[in-house]
Amino acid sequence: MATTPASVDRHPLHAILVAFPIGLWMFSLVCDLVWRVASRDAVWHLMAWYALVAGVIGALVAAVPGLIDFFSITDPQAGKVGMAHLILKWLWLFSTRSMPGCGRSSGRTPCFPFCSRWLGWRGW
C-alpha cells in the first residue's frame, strides 16, 4: 500500500473518504427510483435529496486529503492521472452550475443530482 502525506497508519485518507459520497449518491439514486416507480411517498424523495447533499459534503471533505496527496506526487504517470481526475472534477463542478435547468423548478430532473449520481456510479 502506498504511503501518502494524508494518511493514517499508512492508509490513504482520500481513498477511505471517497467511499462515503459514492455510497450516498448510489443510495440517493435508489431512493429516487423507488419514489418514481414503486411509491410516490414524499419520504423517498426527501431521503434522496438528503443523501445527495450529504454526498456532496462528503466529496468536499474527501477533496482535502486528495489535494494534499496530489501536490505530493512525484511519479509523472501518477501525476497525469491525478491531474485528469482533478480537471474532470472542477469541470463537472462548474459546468453543472452553469447548465440550463440546474436549480430551477422547471419540472425537469435537475442536472446536478444526475451528474452527481453518474459520477458516483463511475467511481470518480
| pLDDT tens figures, 22-72 | 899 889 888 988 988 888 888 998 998 899 889 888 988 999 999 999 999
Side chain identity, residue 8: V
**Nine-digit cell at 84?**
485528469
pLDDT confidence of residue 65 = 93
Q: Which residue has the cell 501518502?
A: 4
Mean pLDDT value of segment 86-102:
63
pTM of the model: 0.70
pLDDT confidence of residue 98 = 46
Calculate the CA 24 to chain-centre distance. Answer: 9
The number of beta carbons lying within 10 Å of the beta carbon of residue 115 is 17
The residue that leads in pLDDT, 2 or 82, is 82
Task: Judge whether residue 103 has pLDDT over 60.
Answer: no
